[in-house]
Amino acid sequence: MNSRTGVDSAPQQLSANRNYPVAGAWYRRLDLDNGVTRIWEPYVHPLEQANFWHIRGSERDLLIDSGMGIVPLRESFPDLFDKREVIAVATHTHIDHIGAIHEFDHRWVHPAEASQMEHPSGIVTLVCADIPPMLCQLFVEAGYPPFDELLIDAFPHAGYNPLDYRLRGVAPTRLVTEDDIVDLGDRRFEIIHTPGHSPGSICLWEEATGALYSGDLIYDGPLVYEGPGMDLDIYADSLRRLKTLPIQVVHAGHDPSFGWARLVEIIDSYLKRWNM
Ligand SMILES: [Zn+2]
């Protein structure tokens, strides 16, 4: 048994009949207007295929979340990260949001998840057998594809050994909560504490553009609201709170961005599903 997850320990080798192609480029990027870049990892299972957001400021830049950390992030995007001061903020500390945050000098997170960032637990490998079967069942019932052997379906380079991967823990450099500001010089982002998906989940709100960076509180796909550290009543309160903000666009932790009408539609559908 695996003491971390309580399930049978991971296989020591991969099945011989499963073929993993080598990815041409591990990351994908989409440059939006207004200095915003969306980055994601297309070869990661949709459950853990997160968006991370790079925002250019006049004095320094902001990175919201950082993916799985399977491939070094900074050196993959020299035009974004070379010689710039970057404040890396974790919306929360699940594996798909903090994988590469150790590469950055400034690492901000909510105090409720500081220890989880430094000593990650839960899902910390690429091996699906390490995920408790009950959780896998919940994810599939929520609408995610079934789980195969690994959380990736390609390797970043020839000779890669996915069994060597472990989510790397690192101490945060600053703890941030409600009303704290990320100041990039010409633009500022307000931290909003929106627990529910996890105790220390935060959103970043840029009032000047009406853009909300929502992490996993809300995205346009199956929301994950049942599992360790999740609370439905608190989740519902955080969703209701979003409807009080003049949001024009949501740049979420997963899936494509969306506007106000879709935001309200998603919130109302979940509150109805939960009888709230
Ligand atoms: Zn999450």
Span from the CA of 205 to the centroid of ligand 1 (angstroms): 18
pLDDT at 7: 45
pLDDT at 3: 40
pLDDT at 82: 86
In the chain the domains, ranked by start, together with CATH numbers, are: 28-273 (3.60.15.10)
Closest Cα to residue 114, out of 176, 167, 38, 29? 176
Span from the CA of 16 to the centroid of ligand 1 (angstroms): 32
pLDDT at 76: 97
Span from the CA of 112 to the centroid of ligand 1 (angstroms): 14
Span from the CA of 17 to the centroid of ligand 1 (angstroms): 32
- 85/271 Cα distance (integer angstroms): 40
Average pLDDT by stretches of 10, the chain with 276 residues: 44 76 96 96 98 98 98 97 95 98 98 98 96 93 94 96 97 97 98 97 98 98 90 96 98 98 98 95
Span from the CA of 225 to the centroid of ligand 1 (angstroms): 9
Span from the CA of 4 to the centroid of ligand 1 (angstroms): 18
Span from the CA of 94 to the centroid of ligand 1 (angstroms): 5
pLDDT at 18: 80
pLDDT at 52: 98
Span from the CA of 171 to the centroid of ligand 1 (angstroms): 19
- 233/271 Cα distance (integer angstroms): 10
Span from the CA of 224 to the centroid of ligand 1 (angstroms): 8
Span from the CA of 250 to the centroid of ligand 1 (angstroms): 16
pLDDT at 12: 65
Q: Give the β-pairing of 188-193 and 258-259.
A: unpaired
Q: Round to the nearest angstrom and report the end-to-end CA distance of the chain.
A: 39
Span from the CA of 203 to the centroid of ligand 1 (angstroms): 12
pLDDT at 15: 80
Cα 81 to Cα 28, 65, 170, distances in angstroms: 16, 14, 19
Span from the CA of 92 to the centroid of ligand 1 (angstroms): 7
